[in-house]
Amino acid sequence: MSRYRLQPTPAQERALAEHCGHVRYVWNLAVEQRTHWKPGRKGAPGFAEQCRQLTEARAANPWLAAGSVTVQQQALRDFAQAMADFFAGTHRRPSWRKAGRHEGFRIIAVKAGDVRRLSRRVGEVKIPKVGWVRLRWSRAVPDGVKSYRVTRDRAGRWHVAFAAIPEPIAGPGTGEVVGVDRGVTVSAALSTGELLHAPGLRESEKTRLVRLLRKLARAERGSNRRSKIKAALARLKARESDRRKDWVEKTSTATRVTRRRPATPASTSLGRVARAKLSSCAWSAGIGPTRT
């Protein structure tokens, strides 16, 4: 996946949010149909039957009919694929999608002219019912792209990810073997004696994080003030996550790891709070995203 940052206008952002709402609505209806199935009952409707039901729902619901039928049908196709993966034993069962947490949709049958470059750092992608949306041209879009996915994270940032298999990166070819031991206090200890630490929030940012958490505890549930505080927290945590991902990508590319000892998992004899604390510290140290 090649992901790019979208820069929609306020009107385009509302249209993208409508697409996400339609996809979430259709997906949750498909999940509801599956939850009603019990042994002895007739099988749940498949993709073709759900598409016919979607046509009837669009005729009876103006809000749903205002959206793109391509986006909504693709949500049903994604659900059918998710159920196939579940029955194959490779993935978990599809679950409910929640507003603000699972925001996104997929577009297929992308043509060559649907993505274009405007300047050195700016490009555009064509989205149904939205039009041309600008994106940050951080690198060239891979050739032969047939589909892409638009997502919105908790920090309110929109991204587009083009489905393409990247070209493999050749190794250094030095033949040097480097071992690594991953931990919590030290993110990675190399056999050469080098100690690597995953970056996190600065001291001023940690202080702001604590202050926002205190404000969140005092804010009334459902209030606008609580929503603004949660958005500020999401932006701060997204900044930390971006730094950690950038460090992981650069470190794992620069260091060819051929031997490692797995991180010690949380013992089942530990309490719930201790396991949660250890898991949080391990993720902050970059153990989760690191691939060796």
Model-level pTM?
0.75
First to last CA, the chain: 19
Asked if 57 and 67 count as a contact pair (C-beta separation under 8 A), the reply is no
Asked if 84 and 93 count as a contact pair (C-beta separation under 8 A), the reply is no
Left if phi > 0, otherwise alpha if psi is -120 to 50, otherwise beta: which for 148?
beta
Which residues lie below 8 Å from residue 11, measured CB to CB, with a gap of 6+? none
pLDDT at 145: 86
Left if phi > 0, otherwise alpha if psi is -120 to 50, otherwise beta: which for 112?
alpha
Which residues lie below 8 Å from residue 113, measured CB to CB, with a gap of 6+? 126
pLDDT at 36: 82
State the alpha helices, DSSP H only, in 36-68: 47-60, 62-65
Compare 31 and 247 and report the one with higher pLDDT: 31
Bridge partners (DSSP) of residue 133 are 125
DSSP count for the chain of H helices, then E strands? 7, 11
Helices 10-35 and 47-60: crossing angle in degrees, nearest 10, is 130
pLDDT at residue 131 is higher than 60: yes
In the chain, pLDDT over 90 holds for what percent of residues? 48
Task: Residue 48: count other Cβ atoms within 10 Å of its Cβ.
Answer: 10
Least confident of 75-79, 91-95, 175-179: 175-179
SS (H, E, C) 245-290: HHHHHHHHHHCCEEEEECCCCCCCCCCHHHHHHHHHHHHHCCCCCC
In the chain, pLDDT over 70 holds for what percent of residues? 84
How confident is the model over 139-166, as pLDDT tens digits?
A: 888 888 889 999 998 888 999 999 887 7
CA distances from 110 to 15, 22, 78, 123 (A): 19, 20, 17, 16
Q: What's the half-sphere exposure (Cβ side, CA atoms, 13 Å) at 146?
A: 2
pLDDT at 125: 92
Where does the pLDDT of residue 43 fall: very low under 50, low under 70, confident under 90, or very high at 90 and above?
A: confident
pLDDT at 265: 40
Nearest CA to 238 among 274, 209, 196? 209
How confident is the model over 261-292, as pLDDT tens digits?
A: 434 444 444 455 445 544 565 556 656 565 54
pLDDT at residue 53 is higher than 50: yes
pLDDT at 213: 93
* Cα radius of gyration rounded to whole Å, the chain: 23
Q: What's the half-sphere exposure (Cβ side, CA atoms, 13 Å) at 84?
A: 8
Taking residues 169-198, report their average pLDDT: 77
pLDDT at residue 90 is higher than 70: yes
pLDDT at residue 59 is higher than 80: yes
Q: What is the DSSP letter of 94?
A: P
